[in-house]
A and B are shown apart, each in its own frame.
Chain A
């Protein structure tokens, strides 16, 4: 009787998740809780970390069917895997972004490429660690500090590394105010940090309307591999700038963006199952991501200093680090560091130029990489 009872109890246990629970799940649940803590208590990227943290926790509770076919998290991931979600993020970002700082100061656009040396340092580092060239390329793009682009490239080049790459990219983007300033200060003098920028010219409505159309044509013509992302960025921006479809622009910037953030965060978190995530690869990718960010920041600042050699009117080299794509975090970091040395030196508008160019820099770099690797 007791034996039968125990065997029923054993069978019942097997039906629950408890029987499959291991220490890796506990670690990942702790990581999920830490993400939610950072979002709530420290204010680090709450829009991203709350959803990622929660779905990471649930995905590490054995027995949860949410990540299996038929479960909602699974379908959220399908949205990412089928490359539906990243272009829609760009669509929302386009509707939220004023590209005038980039149009007004085209010479700063080059900083959007200069700040991407980190991509290639991480790529070579990944190759040295034994990753395949495709995996190394996907890891390198973390250095572009562009979340949707990192996801896009990971899906194209190394889909099995998507969780590590997306978590590293978004985590470092949230930590940029801590990562960038020491490098920026190391590579600039006190006087350079105090350089004030001349006021930019006014960009007309006609130019703002022409911008998404012209860039849309250029990108589809020259960089078809990344056209889905930039085309949607430009469509969102066109909605914003034409002024006659405000309803659509507001929907793209708010409702669409919010829904997509929910889907994206749930999808990323749902890939963080302990058996896939707790690997040496993850530690290496996280380390390479940090190296990419450090080098990207440094190369951006050095790029600005090189540019100064050719300019009569010197630019503040702190703008260089804003060439990392993360909009507007990197621009805000440049602005804040400049304010530490001159409380009336407002760099934010100027820093948005290279910052927005960084989005194109990462996309162009990704497109060239896909072409060179023969991936469509």
Chain B
């Protein structure tokens, strides 16, 4: 389904897009909030990485 090419379509597109963007970006925020949990897996040795860089 696509939006009608009218002022109503523009209003609907704006409303849906704005709120959907808010929800989606909040979802990314939630994913980022879980990132500290990654540190339970282990630790990356930065010095070792720097020594082996190409």
Q: Mark B8-33, 1 if CB is under 8 A from A, else 0.
A: 01110111111011101110111111
Contact in complex: B18, A120 (CB < 8 Å): yes
Contact in complex: B13, A205 (CB < 8 Å): no
Chain A minimum-CB-distance residue to B7: A127
The docked-state distance in angstroms from the alpha carbon of A345 to that of B36 is 27
Residue from the set A106, A218, A242 with the largest chain B CB neighbour count within 10 Å:
A106
Q: How many A-B residue pairs have CB under 8 A?
A: 138
Chain B minimum-CB-distance residue to A245: B54
Q: Does A246 contact B (CB under 8 A)?
A: yes
Query: With A128-B7, A361-B25 in contact, is A109–B32 under 8 Å at CB?
Result: yes
Contact in complex: B14, A120 (CB < 8 Å): yes
A146 → chain B closest CB, angstroms: 13
- For residue A203, which residues in chain B have a CB less than 8 angstroms away from its CB? 35
Query: With A110-B29, A205-B46 in contact, is A136–B10 under 8 Å at CB?
Result: yes
The docked-state distance in angstroms from the alpha carbon of A88 to that of B6 is 35
Q: Does A322 contact B (CB under 8 A)?
A: no
Please tell me which one of the listed residues A109, A136, A137 contacts residue B29 in the complex, with CB atoms under 8 A apart.
Answer: A109
> What's the tally of chain A residues with a CB closer than 8 Å to chain B?
54
Please tell me which one of the listed residues A126, A140, A372 contacts residue B2 in the complex, with CB atoms under 8 A apart.
Answer: A372
Q: Does A155 contact B (CB under 8 A)?
A: no
Chain A interface, >50% SS class: helix
Contact in complex: B49, A244 (CB < 8 Å): yes
> What's the tally of chain B residues with a CB closer than 8 Å to chain A?
42
The docked-state distance in angstroms from the alpha carbon of A221 to that of B10 is 26
Q: Does A38 contact B (CB under 8 A)?
A: no
Contact in complex: A246, B5 (CB < 8 Å): no
The docked-state distance in angstroms from the alpha carbon of A299 to that of B11 is 17
B6 → chain A closest CB, angstroms: 8
Q: Does A215 contact B (CB under 8 A)?
A: yes
The docked-state distance in angstroms from the alpha carbon of A106 to that of B50 is 28
Contact in complex: B21, A364 (CB < 8 Å): yes
Contact in complex: A113, B17 (CB < 8 Å): no
Q: Does A214 contact B (CB under 8 A)?
A: yes
- For residue A107, which residues in chain B have a CB less than 8 angstroms away from its CB? 29, 33
The docked-state distance in angstroms from the alpha carbon of A151 to that of B4 is 24
Contact in complex: B44, A205 (CB < 8 Å): yes
Query: With A127-B7, A245-B53, A246-B54 in contact, is A106–B18 under 8 Å at CB?
Result: no
The docked-state distance in angstroms from the alpha carbon of A363 to that of B24 is 11
The docked-state distance in angstroms from the alpha carbon of A230 to that of B11 is 27
Contact in complex: B17, A244 (CB < 8 Å): no
B50 → chain A closest CB, angstroms: 6
The docked-state distance in angstroms from the alpha carbon of A116 to that of B25 is 12
Contact in complex: A243, B22 (CB < 8 Å): no
Contact in complex: A218, B29 (CB < 8 Å): no
Query: With A207-B35, A243-B50 in contact, is A114–B14 under 8 Å at CB?
Result: no
B28 → chain A closest CB, angstroms: 6
Q: Does A123 contact B (CB under 8 A)?
A: yes
Chain B minimum-CB-distance residue to A102: B32
The docked-state distance in angstroms from the alpha carbon of A16 to that of B53 is 57
Contact in complex: B43, A206 (CB < 8 Å): yes
Contact in complex: A243, B53 (CB < 8 Å): yes
- For residue A214, which residues in chain B have a CB less than 8 angstroms away from its CB? 31
Contact in complex: A372, B46 (CB < 8 Å): no
B40 → chain A closest CB, angstroms: 10
Q: Does A247 contact B (CB under 8 A)?
A: yes
B interface residue numbers (CB < 8 A to A): 1-7, 9-11, 13-18, 20-22, 24-26, 28-33, 35-36, 38-39, 41-44, 46, 49-50, 52-54
Q: Other CB < 8 Å A-B pairs besides A206-B39, A218-B28, A243-B50, 4 of them?
A: A106-B33, A246-B54, A365-B21, A369-B13
What 3 pairs between A and B have smallest CB-CB spacing? A120-B14, A374-B2, A106-B32
